[in-house]
C-alpha cells in the first residue's frame, strides 16, 4: 500500500512543463526563514503568501490552479474545487481548485493549521512543506494529507532528495470533514513528529530513511487525483456542485 501511495508524484514534483518553467511559476525563492508567523486567514496576505494561478501539475492531478477558487468568509479560507470553465480555463484539466504557499522557505520548526477536510472519493486535502525543485530534480517534503475517500484517517509522509515511501496511516478517531481540528508537524535534524489536536500521533527518526534537510515552502491545497494517482486517491466523480476544504489559520514556530 505504501509503495502504491508513493507512486503518485506530489503537487510540485511533477508538472506538465519543464523544470525551468516550474521554477518560474513558483514564488521567488529565498533563504530559510526563522521568524514565527500566525496567519489568521482573514484575507489574502500577499506579503507572506502566494496563491497559485494559471497553471497545473502533472497527470496525477485533476485540477488546474486558479486564484478565484480561493475564498475568504468570516475569518475562514476555503479552497474550492469546481468545474467552472474547465478544461479551457483550467490549464487543460477537468476541474479547478486552489493552493496557497508562503513566499519563502522555512527550516526546522513547527508547522500547524486548523482545518476541515473535503470529503469525497478522489479528493486530497493537504498541509505540507516543499523545497521547490523542478521536474527531474530532488526535493525534500513533509506531508499531512487527508484523503476524501476516508476522512477518519490522516496520512503522514516525508521525502528526502525525492525519495519517499515513508507513509503512515493514522486513525483520527473522528471525521475530519465534519469539524475543524488542529494538525501539526515538528521538524528537527533528528525527528519529525506529527500532532492532531495537540496529541502526538506519529514520529519518524530516520530509521526508515534519511530525514529531510532542505527548507521548504509551507503550503496548503485541495486537489483531485487523476490517472496513476487514482490507485491511491480513488476515482473522483464531480458531485454536480463545488466541494471545499476549509482553513481557519496557519502557523509556524521556528525550532529553539
For 220-242, how does the pLDDT look when each residue is reduced to its tens digit (9 = 90+)? Answer: 999 999 999 999 999 999 999 99
Q: Which residues contact 17 (CB under 8 A, 6 or more apart)?
A: 25, 55, 135
3-state SS assignment for residue 114: strand
Q: How far apart are CA 183 and CA 197, in angstroms?
A: 6
- 39, 99, 112, 145: which is the annotated catalytic residue? 145
- Half-sphere exposure (Cβ direction) of 49: Cα atoms closer than 13 Å: 27
Q: Which three cell numbers stand for residue 3?
A: 509503495
The CA distances from residue 113 to 50, 167, 176, 250, 253, in Å, are: 17, 20, 13, 4, 12
Whether 165 and 157 have beta carbons less than 8 Å apart is answered as: no
112 is catalytic: no
Name the active-site residue from 141, 155, 186, 204.
Answer: 141
The enclosing domain of 171 has a CATH number of 2.60.120.200
pTM summary value = 0.85
Buried b (16+ CB within 10 A) or exposed e, 117-152: bbbbbbbbbbbbbbbbbbbeeebbbbbbbbbbbbbe
Q: What is the pLDDT of residue 134?
A: 55
| CB contact set of 222 (below 8 Å; sequence gap of 6+) | 63, 79, 80, 81, 97, 98, 99, 118, 123, 124, 125, 126, 243, 244, 245
Radius of gyration of the chain (CA): 16
pLDDT digits (tens, 9 = 90+) for 116-164: 999 999 999 999 999 976 545 568 899 999 999 999 999 999 988 776 7
The pLDDT of 25-45, averaged and rounded, is 74
If one counts the domains in the chain, the total is 1
pLDDT score for 137:
56
Q: Which domain holds residue 170?
A: 2-254
39 labelled catalytic: no
Amino acid at each position: 500500500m505504501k509503495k502504491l501511495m508513493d507512486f503518485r508524484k506530489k503537487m510540485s514534483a511533477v508538472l506538465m512543463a519543464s523544470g525551468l518553467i516550474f521554477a518560474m511559476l513558483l514564488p521567488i525563492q529565498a533563504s530559510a526563514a526563522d521568524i514565527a508567523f500566525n496567519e489568521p486567514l482573514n484575507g489574502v496576505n500577499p506579503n507572506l503568501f502566494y496563491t497559485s494561478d494559471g497553471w497545473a501539475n502533472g497527470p496525477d492531478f485533476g485540477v488546474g490552479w486558479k486564484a478565484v477558487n480561493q475564498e475568504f468568509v468570516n475569518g475562514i479560507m476555503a479552497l474550492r474545487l469546481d468545474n467552472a470553465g474547465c478544461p479551457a480555463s483550467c490549464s487543460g484539466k477537468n476541474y479547478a481548485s486552489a493552493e496557497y504557499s508562503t513566499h519563502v522557505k522555512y527550516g526546522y520548526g513547527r508547522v500547524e493549521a486548523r482545518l476541515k477536510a473535503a470529503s469525497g472519493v478522489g479528493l486530497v486535502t493537504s498541509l505540507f512543506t516543499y523545497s521547490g525543485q523542478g521536474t527531474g530534480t530532488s526535493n525534500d517534503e513533509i506531508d499531512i494529507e487527508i484523503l476524501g475517500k476516508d476522512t477518519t484517517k490522516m496520512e503522514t509522509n516525508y521525502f528526502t532528495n525525492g525519495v519517499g515511501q515513508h507513509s503512515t496511516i493514522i486513525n483520527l478517531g473522528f471525521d475530519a470533514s465534519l469539524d475543524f481540528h488542529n494538525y501539526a508537524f515538528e521538524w528537527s535534524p533528528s525527528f519529525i513528529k506529527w500532532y492532531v489536536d495537540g496529541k502526538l500521533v506519529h514520529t519518524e527518526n530516520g530509521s526508515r530513511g534519511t530525514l529531510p534537510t532542505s527548507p521548504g515552502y509551507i503550503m496548503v491545497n485541495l486537489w483531485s487525483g487523476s490517472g496513476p494517482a487514482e490507485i491511491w486517491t480513488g476515482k473522483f466523480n464531480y458531485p454536480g456542485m463545488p466541494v471545499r476544504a476549509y482553513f481557519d489559520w496557519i502557523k509556524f514556530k521556528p525550532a529553539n
